[in-house]
A and B are shown apart, each in its own frame.
Chain A
Amino acid sequence: MNVIELQNVTKSFGDFRAVDDLSLAVPEGCVYGFIGPNGSGKTTTLRMIMRIYHPDPGAGSIRVLGEDDYGAAHDRIGYLPEERGLYKKMKVREILAFYAELKGVRNTKAAADEWLERMGLSDWADKKVETLSKGMSQKIQFISAVIAKPDLVILDEPFSGLDPVNLNVLRDAVLDLRRQGTSIIFSTHDMGVAEQMCDYVFMIFQGRKVLDGTLADIKDQYASDTIRVKIDGDNGKLGNLGGVESVMDFGQLQELRVKPETDTQELLAALMQRGRVEHFELARPSLHDIFVRIAGPEARVAIEESVKQEALHA
């Protein structure tokens, strides 16, 4: 079963299209990573899943935990918003109890104390929120998202601004939830975290979906077109080899991007004509590389060009 199904969802603010014809299916019990540059529509998408925002009228449908409409599903979803929202004057245990009660939890104290202990914050239970450090209040915010034992947890940038120790604590907590069968979606700017933790990665850029799949799928998709070589001999003018689109020169190593369906054996043969091949690697790009390739300056220029072309034709 899919815990989230978005079909052709569009959301505009005035003339600005924040999310454009987006479809997404999140299977039960997995960790789903949302990546994408700032302002590309991640938070808007998450808010739509939370039903804080609604898609444009008639523009797509959203099913969460198998339900189309409001109501009960709310209580089974935990949410950590991008910017932390805690009442400063309330005590830590009180605010956890408040958020838990809003999700329908009856005996809140035991759950709150258990989580505080686990996060190493037991001593702070009766302190006011305003006395907490940034990392601590982030952990409190995390607890308030998961204290009601939701089936689906949505975390908007849960790891930003955490020191490595706290990051580990929070990551372990997230993975623990997954082991217990909770479905988790989180957005992040940290590609390393996304690679380590996510079963699926989803990338959104300028409101549109540009990547969606398991990490292996995505890497396969981008793997066959990058070849790292080192040759002892003439390493200039590699770009005029058959099938090579572009060359990135790292000094000791050259990275060739080749056209799809290029026969790498032929390329190797051609290289061997040039000199001794010391290194030949079919490279699997990191998520970081893929991200930059999609949303980097080059890609932006290309998109602007195509928009201009469209405008000319229109």
Chain B
Amino acid sequence: MRKVLVIAVREFQASVRTKAFIITLVAMPVMMGGSIAVQLLLKDKEDISSRGIAIIDQTGELHGAIETAANKRNTEDIFAKAEERNGVQIKGAQIKPAFEIKTLDPPADAVDELKFELSEQIRNKELFAFAIIEPSVIDGAGQLYYYSNSPTYRALPTWLRTTVNDTVREIRFDREGIDPSVVAKASEEVRRQDRDLVTKDASGAIVEGRTTNRAASFAIPFGLMMLMFMVVMVGASPLVNSVLEEKMQRIAEVLLGSVPPFQLMLGKLIGTVGVSLTISTVYLAGAYAAVAYAGYASLFPTHLLWWFLLYQCLAVFMFGSLFIAVGAACSDMKESQSMLMPVMLVVVSPMFVWMAVLKAPSATFAVIVSLIPPATPTLMLMRQSIPPGVPTWQPLLGVVLVALTTLLFVFVAGRIFRVGMLMQGKGAKFGEMLRWALRG
């Protein structure tokens, strides 16, 4: 056992003391936070060149209102909020494009020619889009047609639809002799507030449920799942290279002259658990600090901490032994890349179903997939973090199943490791690995 520890300590130091580890440790949250920051930044960096749109209003009643709405938008809504500096009002910068309306008289005939002509203008970039409002829209029959070759730009068609609808509605009310302000008052929306369940405190007094924090109820399960995933990826996947190095540099032979192969593998796995615990400690502490700083410390799922750590250790052992088997079976980096594919698929498989599990955490589907061992550390943990949690037998059964799978994986990997470590020249074929695993 002492030798196992010597191996574990070296493995831990070799991983943690590299620049790559520190960079990854910092880079992961920076990259994740960074992508959010970039999106926030780019939200205001819209292309603000004006969009010209030709309107053919076959009702003859709507274009005036559309032009008015566009003018109002172009003078008021497309700028950032005005700021007051030293008592002087500073107009905000333009952050959205202006919509320039060009109303065309509907032709008596040859509508198709006009449509083609306008399409050509759009192709020549003289115009951004054009729209045709059918005469019967006010009666509720016709449609609004929007033509453009930029179908992904949604702001203009959305604005146009809203504007046309608002205007049409006003005209309809007018025709029926209804005062629009009455309508506005009558269609005032009822607001909803989501609350947690009502509880009793120690003195027996009933405590009203807190306002449900929707961001937190989504972010916590997602965050826990991502963290688990990251810890396995960052912590355990370097085992492939570590084993390959020992194999290619012929260090394996020296090591195996001092330590039985199984102890060597066990040492590497324990060292890797240490690495992954380092990562999760840093991230969990960071997340707690961030949440506490924002004043939501009570939302932090401290009750799941031990579960998290248990799942994490099991996951590192389970996937780590697979990574070790891959490293031992390959003879160079290139080979290991293709060999890693199936293992990676197993590791990321929970990512394909987490959405379904998040939406219906108590459904039979969610219960079953979260009991499949490779998915248990991520999906069971996720389900536990969604109120009201899961019956205790489920995580317990999950842990037992994961532990059994881990034992199997470690056993199989140990056999592949023992043979593979001293094989030089060529990598193992799948059939050979199977034979090693079965016969030993």
Contact = CB atoms under 8 A, between A and B. Distances in A.
Interface string A154-167: 00000000000000
Contacts of B14: 87, 89-90
Nearest to A80: B254
Contacts of B251: 85-87
Contacts of B422: 47, 52-53
Interface string B243-273: 0011001111111111110000000000000
Contact of B6 (A83, A87, A102): A102
Contacts of A300: none
A88 interface: yes
B191 interface: no
Interface in A91-130: 98-99, 101-104
Nearest to B242: A87
A84 interface: yes
Contact of B249 (A88, A99, A102): A88
A186 to B, nearest CB: 15
Nearest to A84: B250
B200 interface: no
A98 B257 contact: no
Contacts of A88: 245, 249
Contact of B259 (A81, A89, A102, A144): A102
B257 A81 contact: yes
B10 interface: yes
B91 interface: no
A153 B3 CA distance: 20
Contact of A98 (B10, B246, B256, B260): B10
B2 interface: yes
B258 A74 contact: yes
Nearest to A102: B258
A141 B257 CA distance: 13
A200 interface: no
Nearest to A81: B253
Given A52-B422, A70-B260, A83-B250, A102 B255 contact: yes
Nearest to B10: A98
B18 to A, nearest CB: 8
Nearest to B259: A102
A84 B248 CA distance: 10
Interface in B8-50: 10, 14, 18
A142 to B, nearest CB: 12
A227 to B, nearest CB: 46
A184 interface: no
A99 B7 CA distance: 10
Contact of B252 (A50, A53, A75, A85): A85
Contacts of B249: 85-88
A74 B257 contact: yes
Among B6, B7, B251, B258, which residue has the most Cβ atoms of chain A within 10 A?
B258
Contacts of A89: 14, 18
A53 B423 CA distance: 12
B250 A87 contact: no
Nearest to A50: B257
A171 B250 CA distance: 24
A268 to B, nearest CB: 55
Interface in B210-258: 245-246, 249-258
A68 B372 CA distance: 44
A87 B257 contact: no
A75 B258 CA distance: 7
B6 A98 contact: yes
Nearest to A79: B257
A75 B3 CA distance: 11
A52 B417 CA distance: 13
Nearest to B254: A85
Contacts of A52: 253, 256-257, 422
Contacts of B10: 98
Nearest to B422: A52
A71 B235 CA distance: 31
Nearest to A88: B249
A102 B10 CA distance: 11
A256 B7 CA distance: 60
A102 B3 contact: yes
A85 B252 CA distance: 7
Interface string A273-310: 00000000000000000000000000000000000000
B253 A85 contact: yes
Interface in A36-92: 47, 50, 52-53, 70, 74-75, 77, 79, 81, 83-90
Contact of B254 (A74, A75, A81, A104): A81
Contacts of A83: 250, 253
Nearest to A71: B260
A90 B6 CA distance: 15
A70 B260 CA distance: 9
A78 to B, nearest CB: 8
Contacts of A70: 260
A89 B254 CA distance: 17
Contacts of A85: 246, 249-255
A141 B254 CA distance: 9
A75 B245 CA distance: 24
Contacts of A99: 254, 258
Interface in B167-206: none
A163 B171 CA distance: 102
A50 B260 CA distance: 11
Interface in B364-422: 422
B360 to A, nearest CB: 48
Nearest to B252: A85
Contact of B2 (A86, A104, A141, A144): A104
Nearest to B260: A70
Contacts of B6: 98, 101-102
Interface in B300-355: none
A175 to B, nearest CB: 23
Given A52-B422, A98-B6, A98-B10, A87 B245 contact: yes
Closest 8 CB pairs of A and B: A85-B251, A79-B257, A85-B250, A81-B253, A102-B258, A83-B250, A85-B254, A101-B6
25 contacts: A47-B422, A52-B256, A52-B422, A53-B422, A74-B258, A74-B259, A79-B253, A79-B257, A79-B258, A81-B254, A83-B253, A84-B250, A85-B246, A85-B250, A85-B254, A87-B14, A87-B245, A88-B245, A89-B18, A90-B14, A98-B10, A101-B6, A102-B3, A102-B258, A141-B254
Given A81-B250, A85-B255, A102-B7, 12 more contacts: A47-B422, A52-B256, A53-B422, A74-B257, A74-B259, A79-B253, A79-B257, A85-B246, A87-B251, A90-B14, A98-B10, A104-B2
